[in-house]
Structure 1
Amino acid sequence: MGKHDFRHKLFLFFLEDHITFYTNKVDTDFHQHHYIQVTLALDKPFTVEIEKEVLQTTGVIIDSNKPHKIQGTNGWQLYILVNPESSFGEALSQKLRDNYIYTFDYIDMEVITKIKSIENLLQYEQFLKYLMEALELNKIDAHSPLDPRIQQVIDYIGNSQFDEITIKQLSERVFLSESRLSHLFKAEMGISITSFLLHEKLKRAFKLIFTGMKLTDAAIEAGFHSSSHFTRSARDKLGMSPRAIKKDSIYFKV
């Protein structure tokens, strides 16, 4: 498949420290999430509303946990949702410099539109390298390691069924009180354990959906109490319902 079928409206890539997608159907409600968000126009400018400002732009970085809404249905955009604790996230944080938003004056569109022809991991990694250079992001090869107890908690969460996880259970695994674990996790990760679990549930549910599972089954499998709980969570964190995200979409596991 040398060219993606553009009758579809969303192309999704899941990676270890970020989620990438390009689409022409984003029209979100106000929402916020733990990810640092990069949004870049592939053709026409899009509209961002944040902190009572309305901006029309061709490229932004939005800091973690900042309520915002985006209207981009008049064109195609590239979206990258990045874990702030990753080296990629640290590079974006350096660009933000304690501001809640950064807008790009100029973007090399030829580099950005290369996303449309990616079909494997090698091509994606090459694209990401060129993109970071085009956006003048400083590459960070290493960052401070997490407290080993927090790393143990994260590894355990990644290998468990979410509906079986409690903070009490996690605290017992690393020999900390629940309050001490909660405090340490927030200090190390910049997000509460409950919020982290919710983000991990959302990621797992969408991976299941885009590999063929029905919405309700994916929601339950990922640890949500019901499909309505999954829908409310997706609207709150991503600004769109799961059905709206799934409709006319293609998932690429790179």
Structure 2
Amino acid sequence: MNATWRGWVGLAPGRIYYRGEIGAAGTHSHHAVQLLVARDTVLVLRGADGVDHSCRAALIPANTAHAVVQGAADGLLALIDPVSSLGRLLDRGESRSASAARWRLDPHPLPPAGDVSSAEAIDAVIRSVVRGEIPAARPRHAAVAEAVDLVPTLLPGRVGLGEVARAVHLSQSRLSHLFRQELGLPFRAYVRWERLRTALLLLSSGGSLTQAAHEAGFADSSHLTRVFRSMFGLAPSELLRGVRWEGQQVRPSPGRGAGESWVS
């Protein structure tokens, strides 16, 4: 069985999550570390060398060409910014070759959707892979929390470290250090992810590509599409076709029970 793409999408600082059906995808690479996990079936993934690998889970470094030959009816896909502390931990500085991918991981089992929240399930899988804790989605330091709240209000304009540091009464160097410490992500990369979050929210609520690009601060729809392809390996329209933002209600597909849903 080769599934289509239908599920939910969630975004945390430096990470985008997908839970649901994993469909086939041609050879591509993206500027993100990728974690793929199937719940109760086998994935068939193809490396840049053309060799197929049957596995339940795989970790693929950033900028590494690969293809999904056979997907799964229920699985997890996480894309993680390679400059984040979590991305660097997963990447481990390996060379960008077909052999750099770890095709047969043995992560924490992925529970059925609905047993626990999807975010909790995904974080449990990632913790089992890195054997440790992952950065919190919400900073503990009050000034960083204030900065995180401020960034979206400055979009679509330029969001400079100096401007935000002054607003939260910290030096630029201190705020930069705290962003890495609290969120595991440099300030500039965090702003890029906030732009992507804004664009995704607009697109998922029915906004046009042009509107999403404008309100998120991208030069135009082509610029937004290029950034999406670089980070996610596909265009915004492909990402959102058949998926929903976390928390949205999704009509069950034929054959699913009335109590089942594609969202957490």
What is the TM-score of this pair, normalised by structure 2? Answer: 0.64
Offset of 1:107 from its aligned partner? Answer: 6.3
SS at match of 1:68: coil
1:165 and 1:153 map into 2 onto residues whose CA distance is 11
Letter in 1 for 2:78: I
Letter in 2 for 1:26: A
1:20 and 1:98 map into 2 onto residues whose CA distance is 21
1:226 and 1:176 map into 2 onto residues whose CA distance is 33
Q: Which runs of 4+ in 1 moved over 6 A?
A: 52-55, 83-87
Is 1:13 equivalent to 2:13 in the alignment? Answer: no
Offset of 1:231 from its aligned partner? Answer: 0.5
Is 1:237 equivalent to 2:231 in the alignment? Answer: yes
Offset of 1:174 from its aligned partner? Answer: 3.6
1:132 and 1:165 map into 2 onto residues whose CA distance is 30
Question: Structure 2: which 5+ runs fail to align?
Answer: 95-100, 248-263
Letter in 1 for 2:213: A
Aligned in 2, Cα 1:37/1:138: closer, same or farther, shift over 3 Å?
same
Is 1:38 equivalent to 2:35 in the alignment? Answer: yes
Offset of 1:131 from its aligned partner? Answer: 5.0
1:67 and 1:186 map into 2 onto residues whose CA distance is 25
Aligned in 2, Cα 1:15/1:233: closer, same or farther, shift over 3 Å?
closer
1:30 and 1:132 map into 2 onto residues whose CA distance is 21
Aligned in 2, Cα 1:68/1:149: closer, same or farther, shift over 3 Å?
farther
- Counterpart of 1:205 in structure 2 is 199
Matched residue count: 230
- Counterpart of 1:60 in structure 2 is 58
SS at match of 1:202: helix
Aligned in 2, Cα 1:227/1:126: closer, same or farther, shift over 3 Å?
closer
Residues 48 and 70 in structure 1, CA contact (< 8 A), matched pair in contact too: yes
Offset of 1:79 from its aligned partner? Answer: 0.2
Letter in 2 for 1:168: G
- Counterpart of 2:104 in structure 1 is 104
Question: 1:168-221 CA deviation, whole Å, 9 max, x = no partner?
Answer: 32132244565x368536753554433221122112211221222222212222
Offset of 1:228 from its aligned partner? Answer: 0.9
1:231 and 1:221 map into 2 onto residues whose CA distance is 14
- Counterpart of 1:194 in structure 2 is 188
Letter in 1 for 2:8: L
Identity of aligned residues (%): 18
RMSD of aligned Cα (Å): 4.3
Letter in 1 for 2:29: F
Higher relative contact order (CA 8 A, sep 6+): 1
1:114 and 1:153 map into 2 onto residues whose CA distance is 36
Offset of 1:62 from its aligned partner? Answer: 4.4
Residues 31 and 67 in structure 1, CA contact (< 8 A), matched pair in contact too: yes
1:215 and 1:61 map into 2 onto residues whose CA distance is 31
Question: 1:20-60 CA deviation, whole Å, 9 max, x = no partner?
Answer: 22420433633213xx53212443321245xx897735222
SS at match of 1:170: helix
- Counterpart of 2:177 in structure 1 is 184
Question: 1:123-161 CA deviation, whole Å, 9 max, x = no partner?
Answer: 53674587579x577564997x66654443223214542
2:165 and 2:224 map into 1 onto residues whose CA distance is 26
Residues 34 and 59 in structure 2, CA contact (< 8 A), matched pair in contact too: yes
SS at match of 2:16: strand
Letter in 2 for 1:217: Q
Letter in 2 for 1:69: A
2:180 and 2:122 map into 1 onto residues whose CA distance is 29
- Counterpart of 2:28 in structure 1 is 29
- Counterpart of 2:252 in structure 1 is none
